[in-house]
A and B are shown apart, each in its own frame.
Chain A
Amino acid sequence: MPFVQLGGCLMLSFVEVAGLRKYFPVQRGFLENAFSRKHEFVRAVDDVEFAIEKGETFGLVGESGSGKTTIGRLLLRLIEPTSGEIIIDGKDIVKAHPNELRDFRRQAQMIFQDPMAALSPRMTIGQAIKDALDIHQIGSSNTRKKMVLQTLERVGLTPAELFYDKYPHQLSGGQRQRAVIGRAMILEPHLVVADEPVAMVDVSIRAQILDLLLLLKRDLGLTYVFITHDLATANYFCDRIAIMYLGKIVEVGLRDEVFNSPKHPYAAALMSAIPVPDPQYKHQRMIPRGEIPSPIRPPSGCRFHPRCPKAFDACPMKEPGMTKISQTHFVACHLFDTA
């Protein structure tokens, strides 16, 4: 059951995720496999639940090992979940057959972090984008090139004829990312998962790319899942944000709620850690001790408890459930347990 109800009424959300888990087996040597029964797993995503409304920009924010990237790939079923439910636009993605999955791929696309790696070095960007149309047999061979040219213009790669024949290595970072965006958008999807789309782009170009994404959202009626470790970018781009730590969502709410009054100690620490481009700003950093533990053997109870400045007896004993702070703001922390 989606626990987020925007506007106060219970409706079926565009994306519903429940009980989602992804465990990766830890690679072991031949002898270990033969002689030891115990298998270890990287608990990348461990019982995650959230809902996204149509037309929203939903941010998944976390540091490394938080599981945010894995969720992105699970949503598009580029990897198989260990267990759990993913329902997008009423369709059960986990149980879908290969044919249904292909149709789904038209409706849900991904934008990758490293545009150089996301484009085959031996295809021109025109060919790369056209391939999307070829795969789904959209249009005829005459019209396809025209559609690609239109898309190139739409993402700002003009003159389109010139860019059609360029190879990825001939473009700048920002241009490559526009090409990746073009490839995702030409199918006119409904859902786009953007995995750190501006992390590898120059600072002054980031806003250009994000503004392009917002423009496309308006034009195509998109729903975004925005995955990032950069809180400041999430603040600019997202309507709602979920903060992840070690495979679990620790806090979720509207952008302003989470940024201005973070409830979870980890969320608060993250907010206080962001560098601010103002030399007069006095940082009041709340730095948790230690470092992120291994996702193979996460701490018992609340995963953040060994580093939490506010941990108390309940914390190592039991995992906290989601507590409602407001209609839209939820936090998983024993400090807010009711009763």
Chain B
Amino acid sequence: MVLIGGVTILTVVVMTIVSPYISPFNPTAINAGPVLQPPNSKFPLGTNHLGEDMLSRVLSGGSVMLQVAVLAVVICSITGVSIGLMGAYAGGLADKISSLVMDSIYAFPGLVLAIAIAAMLGPGVINMALAIAVVYVPSYFRVVRSQVLTVKELTYVEAARALGAKSRRILTRYILPNLLPSVVVVVTLNFADAILMAAGLTFLGLGVPVSTPDWGWDLTYGRQLLPSGAWWVIGFPGLMIVVTVWGFTILGEGLSELLNPKLREIA
């Protein structure tokens, strides 16, 4: 599973990176070809309403999304895991306050919150990443917190204390490594969701400016063009989004199985 997921992701990433070199046309070149051409030999994925080559757009359209996703995941995993670790281990007031804050954020429907924040911050890759990160921090927090609360009471933590280990050591060497499988799962789901949200934000016009090629924009215009029968404008980018998200999900499942040494032994 890791292999399939990994290969899928890698393909998408590589494709995006090398797209400037292999794209037959500049993805933002208007009138590279006739408008709304269905897939043919010159334009294998057709052209959109501006005459831009769909193949080129599909090749490079993932770039923004991937950047946003990576940034968002990095920001929110570090934040969420740290707060979860420290709050849950310290207990008491720290735990109660952090839980309260996180639960409040969690109470908002994800996309709505992201939209609100993105609207406040304005367009751009970093702002998009921040908006998505905020939405996702509580997920890490919850997962980490519930695990820490359990693990904290386990014998091997008590054993570490009996050895004389201080809290910091216990958190980093004894508790955190045992949380990794669950955190990895959240990371991959986070990636998958981040991509969807980035697409969504762009789709709604809150992401990058329209001059940047992006699958989200293709969805926006593709949706409008659908009634006229131009399925390829929305179809191919949409398919790419699905494939990328699926790739992350499969990778996550495969990794979580791999990372847990105990699970590896069971059939």
**Chain A interface residues (CB < 8 Å from chain B):** 76, 78, 101-102, 105-106, 109-110, 112, 114, 117-123, 131-132, 135-136, 167, 169, 180, 183, 187
Q: Are B162 and A110 in contact (CB under 8 A)?
A: yes
Interface residues of B (CB under 8 A from A): 154-156, 158-165, 169, 173-174, 177-178, 180, 261-262, 265
Contact A183 B155 (CB under 8 A): no
Contact B156 A118 (CB under 8 A): yes
Q: Are A135 and B174 in contact (CB under 8 A)?
A: no
Q: Are B163 and A123 in contact (CB under 8 A)?
A: no
**Which residue from chain A places its CB closest to the CB of B259 in the assembled complex?**
A122
Bound CA–CA A183/B164 (angstroms): 12
Contact: B162 with A109, CB < 8 Å? yes
Q: Which 9 A-B pairs have the closest CB atoms?
A: A105-B164, A117-B155, A122-B177, A120-B156, A118-B155, A110-B162, A102-B164, A118-B159, A132-B163
Residues of chain B lying within 8 A (CB to CB) of residue A187: 163
Whether A110 touches B159, Cβ cut-off 8 Å, given contacts A102-B164, A135-B164, is yes
- Please give 15 more A-B residue pairs, beta carbons under 8 A apart, in addition to A117-B154, A120-B160, A183-B159: A78-B158, A102-B164, A105-B164, A109-B162, A112-B155, A117-B155, A118-B159, A120-B156, A121-B178, A135-B163, A135-B169, A167-B261, A169-B262, A180-B159, A183-B163
B265 contacts across to A, CB distance below 8 A: 169
Which residue of A has the minimal Cβ distance to B155?
Answer: A117
Which of A114, A118, A180 counts the most chain B CB atoms within 10 A? Answer: A118
**Nearest CB on B from A72, distance (A):** 10
Which B residues touch A110, using CB under 8 A? 159, 162
Q: How far apart are the CA atoms of A56 and B156 in the complex, in Å? A: 27
Q: Complex Cα distance A180/B169, Å?
A: 19
- Tell me the smallest distance from the CB of A151 to a CB of chain B, in Å: 14
Q: Which residues of A contact B159 (CB under 8 A)?
A: 110, 112, 118-119, 180, 183
Contact B165–A122 (Cβ < 8 Å): no
Q: Knowing A105-B162, A105-B164 touch, does A121 contact B174 (C-beta < 8 A)?
A: no
B261's contact among A102, A121, A132, by CB below 8 Å, is which?
A121
Looking across the interface, which residue of chain B has its beta carbon closest to that of A102?
B164
B164 near A122 with CB under 8 A, answer: no
20 contacts across the A-B interface (CB closer than 8 A): A78-B161, A106-B164, A109-B162, A109-B163, A112-B159, A114-B155, A117-B154, A117-B156, A120-B160, A120-B178, A121-B178, A122-B261, A123-B173, A123-B174, A131-B160, A131-B163, A135-B163, A135-B165, A183-B159, A187-B163
Q: Measured between alpha carbons, how far is A22 from B228 in the docked complex, in Å?
A: 79
Q: Which of B161, B162, B164, B174 contacts A120, CB < 8 Å?
A: B174
